A and B are shown apart, each in its own frame.
Chain A
């Protein structure tokens, strides 16, 4: 039964979590599904709230850095809704923050078209 559920989630592309990625995987994702900007945030960052807005949802990927995956999902879900977790990426090994030079939060990086 659990294999069936996993398969269903896979084929329907339903994201139930901030997807864990490294820098290379994010690059690949951006090539397939471009975005205008990356919003870097963390669940413990009070100043990040102002960037977690539904208005920027369509044009952005929200990258949780320096954070635990479950905590990041909770924060993202509270401000952007749990149904929009597809736009959420969790920096699983710190490589995304390093690749974009993120040393503090919040940070918004515009992407070249």
Chain B
């Protein structure tokens, strides 16, 4: 294989890594730009189970051209998360997931990466002052423990379930949720760490994610929100050398419907379309459906 074609394959595979990550929905409203489980002020512990199915993969190269995907045709994952309140305005959560990749009649199941997250409220909303938003800061760390694109052994990335490197996230979240029409936004920065892999020493570029969200409550116990995600990541280094045209750009769409039942279980359905709008580079197009069950304990 020539150096060019191996690099091209590498880039396509690298773009798949992002698809291997959990399909994130909306941080501004509690469905997780970085953390899928959010505690309401009256909740001290919460369990989250999510099932997601991704399909319709198409790779997008650094020119923005869409190509047939090299990787799995379908990805399914089971996310398990638990959130614990530490202080009235601070809670932490842990997320683990198990995935299944399918290509034709072949498939593979493995665990994914693990992440720990923390969220603190700086400003609490008040119905007396609906013009003042809720402001939260968040921090998280993903441990790249699962097999990644850089260590894959099987064709079509069937055994790729993780990013291959650790990454720390820092962000802030603003949410106007006191009125009929709710809206907000998030800014999240990702600071990846260098990792030794079978492919060499990998240093991915820094990531920034912007999320804009709009929604409302058509019924008392149902919230519908939709939004846009802009995500970009700088070029990555392999053995210290910056790879040309390796920066990534994604523009995604999501729509979430969530029940807000008072006692017992709640449910969330999220539709996510990756690389759905605007310019995309070294990205992957995909459709994702996530069904989640949550229960405060």
Contact call B127/A67, Cβ cutoff below 8 A: no
Interface 1/0 per residue, B22-48 and A, CB below 8 Å:
000000000000000000111000000
Residues on A with beta carbons closer than 8 Å to the beta carbon of B234: none
Residues on A with beta carbons closer than 8 Å to the beta carbon of B217: 46-47
How close is B221's CB to chain A, nearest CB, in angstroms?
9
Q: Tell yes or no: B220 within 8 A of A by CB.
A: yes
Q: Tell yes or no: B87 within 8 A of A by CB.
A: no
* Number of residues on chain B facing chain A (CB within 8 A): 20
Residues on A with beta carbons closer than 8 Å to the beta carbon of B41: 42, 44, 66-67
Q: Tell yes or no: B235 within 8 A of A by CB.
A: no
CA distance A43 to B261 in the complex (A): 19
Q: Tell yes or no: B263 within 8 A of A by CB.
A: yes
Residues on A with beta carbons closer than 8 Å to the beta carbon of B128: 43, 74-75, 77-79
How close is B243's CB to chain A, nearest CB, in angstroms?
47
User: Within residues 54 to 74 of chain A, which ones have a CB less than 8 A from any CB in chain B?
Assistant: 65-68, 71, 74
CA distance A33 to B12 in the complex (A): 72
Residues on A with beta carbons closer than 8 Å to the beta carbon of B125: 43-44, 46
Interface 1/0 per residue, A4-31 and B, CB below 8 Å:
0000000000000000000000000000
Contact call A46/B262, Cβ cutoff below 8 A: no
Residues on B with beta carbons closer than 8 Å to the beta carbon of A71: 124, 126
Residues on A with beta carbons closer than 8 Å to the beta carbon of B40: 104
Chain A: CB-nearest residue to B296:
A103
How close is B38's CB to chain A, nearest CB, in angstroms?
13
Residues on B with beta carbons closer than 8 Å to the beta carbon of A97: 42
- Most chain A CB atoms below 10 A, which of B128, B129, B134, B179: B128
Interface 1/0 per residue, A70-113 and B, CB below 8 Å:
01001101110000000000000000010001111101000000
Residues of A within 8 A of B (CB): 42-49, 52, 65-68, 71, 74-75, 77-79, 97, 101-105, 107
Taking A46-B127, A52-B127, A103-B296 as known contacts, 18 extra A-B pairs with beta carbons closer than 8 A to each other, sorted by chain A number, are: A42-B41, A44-B127, A44-B134, A45-B127, A47-B217, A47-B220, A49-B127, A68-B124, A71-B124, A75-B128, A78-B128, A79-B128, A101-B263, A104-B40, A104-B42, A104-B260, A104-B262, A104-B263
Residues of B within 8 A of A (CB): 40-42, 124-129, 134, 177-179, 217, 220, 260-263, 296
